[in-house]
Chain A
């Protein structure tokens, strides 16, 4: 005669040995390893994009008839960024995953925030360096024209000195865009890191 499922269930769990709880150990080790791997995976896409951008800037500029140097400045900027990101990835990969997951998580969090701050600083300095030569070039090259005429909007009859406002505006814009992309791209990982660090700190206390 077949046993009922209720009977199998009860009989199966009569012996307490059946329900041995696994030991809670290395609770955060695997989590921290996964987070580190995820962060590296995400960061690894950036150098590839930067290399493509560097190539596009050089040949794209040349293709639309601009001077070779104007594209080169942007490309050099991308290549510098490329090396900074590569260095950051290497730092994260070198962070010791084996010994202490709390230290590992702390170093990941620190590296992530340092990466954000370094890139923000780079944008504050690099963007004006990138834009200024283009603005100066345009200013002298189209000296006779008004601001509106340069952009094909004749009604904007401002002096072409106004072109220089593009430098601070462009810089602020690039920083804002970067910070927003960081917030939505890396923000969840940064929050998770912070949560795990807080968990471990709570345990320590």
Chain B
């Protein structure tokens, strides 16, 4: 990957890539691996980008796909199964990556969501519209709305008493 490409096309969107990678990785080492793999895949697939969607939307989609693929691989290695299943061991393994304690708590709660719900809430928190989320995830926009409400309820329960 050329330095120019990284600086001009990836670095301006590094924020969302970092947020997504943090949500799917459980250690600093994993996070760095995921981040590098996402950047590499963006570079490799750059010719597949079509002007129909925005570059940032394309990066969201690709980052999510790469993270989900890596997560599947990691789960295969540890012989667990991948699906809409809530991970149990994640919270214990998670470290505090951010200065803001409440953000760390929120991330720990997000990591307890299913893989798809994690993707949905990340996009919602990034202020993507329901339609945009639906396009990225491949779901109906109405379903996204209902699902976001449920996820928020779930997060509230998980965070209850942990943050002020």
B8–chain A nearest beta-carbon distance, Å:
14
A-B contacts, CB under 8 A, total: 69
A19 touches B106 (CB 8 A): no
Docked pose: A17 CA to B18 CA in angstroms? 12
Docked pose: A2 CA to B163 CA in angstroms? 7
B100 at the interface (CB under 8 A from A): yes
Contact with B along A148-167 (1 / 0, CB 8 A): 00000000000000000000
A100–chain B nearest beta-carbon distance, Å:
18
**Count of chain B residues near A, Cβ 8 A:** 33
Q: What are 7 A-to-B residue pairs whose CB atoms are below 8 Å?
A: A5-B155, A5-B156, A6-B125, A18-B98, A20-B18, A21-B18, A203-B1
List of 8 A-B pairs having minimum Cβ-Cβ separation, nearest first:
A12-B103, A21-B14, A12-B100, A9-B125, A22-B32, A19-B15, A8-B102, A8-B106
Category for how many chain A residues contact B? 20 to 34
Chain A residues lying within 8 Å of B155, measured Cβ to Cβ, are: 5
B99 touches A18 (CB 8 A): yes
Supposing A5-B159, A6-B125, A21-B18 touch, asked if A27 and B40 sit within 8 A by C-beta, the answer is yes
Interface residues of A (CB under 8 A from B): 1-3, 5-6, 8-9, 11-13, 15, 17-22, 24, 27, 30, 199, 203
Chain B residues lying within 8 Å of A2, measured Cβ to Cβ, are: 156, 159-160, 163-164
A27 touches B1 (CB 8 A): yes
B83–chain A nearest beta-carbon distance, Å:
25
A185–chain B nearest beta-carbon distance, Å:
19
Contact partner of B100 (CB less than 8 A), chosen from A11, A22, A30, A199, is: A11
